[in-house]
Amino acid sequence: MCSLAFHHKNSDEKYLCVCVVCAAPSIYLDFARSLLDPRIGVSAQNCYKVAKGAFTGEISPAMIKDSGADWVILGHSERRHVFGESDELIGQKVAHALESDLGVIACIGETLEEREADTTEEVIYAQTQVIAENVTDWGKVVLAYEPVWAIGTGKTATPEQAQEVHEKLRAWFTANVSDDVADSLRIIYGGSVTGANCRELASQGDVDGFLVGGASLKPEFVDIINARA
């Protein structure tokens, strides 16, 4: 399981509240929704690109909504690198999820080899471009930057490294989408976030929250939720 904590901003760039979302495996979506406080959102960890058909084992946005969830994570690094999902497929999933009125947490990020080859920007911009081409309502999208080399490894991008990438992403949106989207888009960080490092990461100007793995199952997740308090 993973969970998210991100912040809503107003037009003055002030954080108004924290949004918490629990991303449960698909067979537990209904169970999670039935137990959690209604103020906490529930997300699926993946979905397919079409509503129905002969796709044994896949889950559609309609199924997710029937389970009471209102978000879906798409493009997670494990879907890209373990299951071989392409940028194109992820873009198609984003389009269908948004058409189905689900909120989308769209993930991007570079591998260690790509970072060491100094191609981080090239990789994340290409991933972001395909996502952007399929978005109709940016108010329903959260962008999650998760450097693959920092996921489950105990390594975390330094606050400065996270801020650098988030700032460049926001500049990309200014240049390629609009100033309004660049200002309002919630860009969150994922990669070995813990109670110990969350406050320093949250202090960075362009880090709007977190995509959290193992630490979301521990009491320290409360500290992560309150990292900007």
Residues 76 and 45: beta-carbon distance below 8 Å: yes
Sign of CA dihedral 159, 105, 43, 14: positive
Annotated active-site residue in 7, 76, 96, 166: 76
Residues 6+ apart with CB under 8 A from 28: none
Vertex 157 angle, CA 151 and 162, to 5°: 115
How far apart, in whole angstroms, are the C-alpha atoms of residue 82 and residue 216? 22
> How many other C-beta atoms can be found within 10 angstroms of the C-beta atom of residue 25?
12
Concerning whether 146 is annotated as a catalytic residue, the answer is yes
Burial classification of residue 168, based on how many CB atoms lie within 10 Å of its CB (0-12 exposed, 13-18 middle, 19 or more buried):
middle
Q: Which of 7, 110, 146, 166 is catalytic?
A: 146
Task: Give the chain's radius of gyration (CA, Å).
Answer: 16
Q: Which residues have CB under 8 Å from 29's CB, separation 6+? A: 42, 44, 64, 67, 68, 69
Q: Is 76 a catalytic residue?
A: yes
Tokens in use for 131? 């996502």
Instruction: Tell me the C-alpha distance between 203 and 191, whole Å.
Output: 16
Residues labelled as active-site residues: 76, 146
